[in-house]
A and B are shown apart, each in its own frame.
Chain A
Amino acid sequence: MSVAIPEGARVVFGRPELLVDRTSSYCPGCGHGVVHRLIAEVLGDLGLGPRTIAVAPVGCAVFAYDYLGLDFVEAPHGRAPAVATGIRRVRPDAFVLTYQGDGDLAAIGTGEIVHAAARGELLTAVFVNNGIFGMTGGQMAPTTLLGQRTTSTPRGREATFHGYPIPMTEMLAVLPGVAYAARGSVADAASIGRTKQYLRRACEVQLEGRGFAIVEVISNCPVGWGMTPLESIERLKEVVALEYRPGVIVDRTREPAVSGAPGGAIPADGTATAAAER
């Protein structure tokens, strides 16, 4: 790093230790950089770095393992929740985190995320939703909005031909195994601050053994959207956030535990019983 901090200065904000000190390959203005940093901050604050085994997706964020100083396994496209389940079941002491984009989680990976959530797996899932397949050049994703132009919807997404965008996190939130589901945004400093809080809560939920936790972060893809970074942030605020609304979608940790209610810890015998009472 080529900045020198003067002696005795009080650092209000700096690069978190778990964020590797190197230039990322992400495009200028890409929200992945912010989400990576938030993860590094939260895991650092909670002291989870040495315990974390993280799962990287296929997509732009396949390189997450180059930028976060954590043990990582690269999952096949969409399979991160299953890979994470395997890790979680054999390493009860590990902290297990998945990082997926919208193509990874909501297209090819719908089966794996639904069932990990249904099992109430003690995982923290980070879902970066920029409504496009970035890595492969900007094709339509399940979360692409109606009317949005992409390289595979050159005339704009139409419900008749391409179906409707999928509200994955709302769908998952229905499942009792989901202890916490929230949606954040990287649109501005305030949103980023709230997103960090959601991520922190999602990590705590795993530590408390409450069940599956997911934080969706709506993000921008300037190159894929055909915009400047600033334009893409404006679109994020004015268009995307109206369809994928930030906020806490479900927090079952604040409900009293009742029969059939979720959030049970996985019993020591390893069987999946998402509805086990604490």
Chain B
Amino acid sequence: MTTQQTPAPSDAQRTAPPGPRHHGRRVLMKGNEAMAEAAIRAGCDAYFGYPITPQAELLEWMARRMPEEGRPFVQAESELGAINMALGAAATGARVLVSSSSPGISLMAEAMSYMAASEVPVVLINVMRGGPGLGSIGPSQSDYFQATKGHGHGDYRVPVLAPSSISEAMALTADAFELAERYRTPVMILTDGILGQAMEPVELTFREPPRVPAEWALTGAAGRPPRVVRSLHLKPEDLEAHNRHLQAKFAAIADREVRHDGESLDDADLVIVAYGTAARVARTAIARAREAGLRAGLFRPITLWPFPSDALRDLAGRVRGLLVVELSAGQMVEDVRLAVEGRVPVAFTGRTGGMVPAPREVVAALRHLWATTAEQPRETTR
């Protein structure tokens, strides 16, 4: 099938995606493949990866599509190889994507630190699986700490975007390239095995962010002084100055790029804080809770870093309790507690190992939270 033909919807996953004249058409797509195609349409110049479940389809889609577009695809010898290839390619100003899953992401920690320090923009997709260690191939959210707390060594932050639907994942892929280049930073898209493997109807609408001129990029020192992309600054004064520069950048990102979403918050007594797949479970739980008379709402962080602390703190003054739901032993819950500064009780429910919290478990946790919290005096009037 060529890009000029019209694929039947059920074949969309197996064929080349429709060309521009089908822009906006809805088709069924697997998450991994949708993110891959979104990256290609966003102008991804090169892809480097390594097979690991549950994101192998992303690599395979790239293996087929990138050569069609005349762009480099490399299946590297390891995730270590892949992320370092990405570092090199991005150092020349190319728009680069790498994808992996939890154990492979661990291997990329070193390069993430180098990329953040050298200010090299790369987009990295983590399709989280059960851990720790080799774990399982089921979905999880247990890489939150890894993603948001630096991942590699040294003082740095990486913007982390967390979609909760395949459509959103496609849009955030384009946004991620834009963020990466605007701020000269690696950016991580944090998804999970369900999002990667599921198929959902998506609109084939793509965005290619405009290119930011990269006056730092390595292109060969023709007619200009040589440039060096580096992270070594041996003199403490120099490294401190560099760290101040990086911190100023992270402060700017934190100031401008926070994203979150909310549902049914206006009259909520209890609010679930959840991202990604957990937010979708929460949505069902909230509907059931409301049917039973419990007014619950959803606060959904979309940027996990910068964390929407301000919005959460404001919300905390208006509700009786927060319930954090994660596919982990509890990682984002710590940031929620930090954000609300003790204003409101924060409870947690979650599953690990590739298990997904069921809506009834979440509803039970909401009931428990209701039962164990008192009517809170409102800090602001409705």
Contact = CB atoms under 8 A, between A and B. Distances in A.
A171 to B, nearest CB: 15
A148 interface: no
A95 B90 CA distance: 16
B73 A49 contact: no
Interface of A: 49-53, 55-56, 62, 65, 69-76, 79, 82-87, 89-91, 93-95, 111-112, 114-115, 119, 268-272
B221 A90 contact: no
List the 4 shortest-distance A-B pairs measured between CB atoms, nearest first. A86-B88, A50-B222, A86-B89, A83-B88
Interface string B210-222: 0000000011111
A91 B85 contact: no
Interface residues of B, number: 45
A74 B223 CA distance: 22
5 contacts: A50-B222, A71-B220, A79-B81, A270-B66, A272-B75
Q: Is the interface of B mostly helix, strand, loop or mixed?
A: mixed
Nearest to B95: A90
Q: Is the interface of A mostly helix, strand, loop or mixed?
A: mixed
A25 to B, nearest CB: 10
A89 B72 contact: yes
B16 interface: no
A87 B111 contact: no
Contacts of A93: 220
Contacts of A268: 70
B114 A86 contact: no
B73 A82 contact: no
Contacts of B223: 50
A76 B114 contact: yes
Nearest to A91: B92
A17 to B, nearest CB: 12
Contacts of B80: 79, 82, 111-112
Interface of B: 45-46, 48, 66-67, 70-78, 80-82, 84-92, 94, 96, 110-111, 114, 118, 218-223, 226-232
Given A79-B111, A270-B67, A71 B48 contact: no
Contacts of B89: 86-87, 89-90
A74 B89 CA distance: 13
Given A75-B84, A75-B88, A82-B88, A90 B227 contact: no
Contacts of A74: 114, 118, 228-232
Nearest to A92: B72
A89 B46 CA distance: 8
A49 B220 CA distance: 8
A95 B220 CA distance: 8
Contact of B94 (A90, A95, A271): A90
A99 B141 CA distance: 40
Given A50-B220, A111-B81, A86 B229 contact: no
Given A83-B87, A85-B85, A90-B45, A76 B73 contact: no
Nearest to A111: B77
Given A89-B74, A93-B220, 11 more contacts: A65-B226, A71-B221, A71-B228, A73-B87, A82-B80, A83-B88, A85-B81, A87-B92, A94-B92, A112-B80, A269-B67
A268 B71 CA distance: 8
Nearest to A53: B218
Given A65-B230, A76-B84, A71 B90 contact: no
A204 to B, nearest CB: 18
